[in-house]
Amino acid sequence: MERSDKTARELYEAVKADRGRPRFGFGRKPALVNVDLQNAYTRPQEFPTAYETDPQQIGHVNALARLFRDRGCPVIWTYVAYLPTGEDCGVWGTRTDTPDSLQNIREGSRRAGLDERCEIDGSDIVINKRMASAFFETNLGSLFTWHRVDTVIVTGGSTSGCVRATVVDSLSRGFRTIVPEECVADRHESPHFANLYDMAVKYADVLPVAEVLAFMEQYQPAN
């Protein structure tokens, strides 16, 4: 392995500055997947599980969601929540002595609820997922087939966990995949930038949110 003294942030910034790097690009029809913007992960004053975020993260996500709806493109919100017994959390929930134990995110609890700052419309799709990827044992793939989606925009948290898992699954299923940089977050800077770097190199186009907004503003639904 080649040794590098660069920080994760420096590695990511170097990739971002490489204007010659090929992109997957936007396709015929995009969908927006907002991963786990729920109180357990967005409310640091309440929960130790919350992520370090761009202070405008949810505002950027809401702006994207409005444009996606206006252009007739699907908007999906996911959240993590489990049965009172925790049995649907499986092995992932067996670390019950940790403060961020997934098994303790109960359906209907404050931790499970989507952040009230999120502008969720009645036409949006809300999915209760139980594992890291938004695709795992959910109907997301069939929804995208129905809507003829070929491009997936992924926001939310955590960059190193559920966002990354969703991005890898998205690319693995043949979707062009895009991550608006200011719209994802993690608990610490190092895993955040390490995974932005890795996704940018392998799995997705990591772009400024302004570029994604600009694309959606000029986007015209395909016939």
Catalytic positions, written as ranges: 162
* Rounded Cα distance, 99 and 222, in Å: 47
The residue among 147, 146, 145, 164 whose CA lies nearest residue 155 is: 164
**Side-chain-facing half-sphere of 21: CA atoms under 13 Å:** 19
Strand spans (E) along the chain:
30-35, 75-80, 125-129, 151-157, 176-180, 184-185, 205-207
Could you give the residue ranges of the DSSP H alpha helices within 140-201? 140-147, 164-172, 189-198
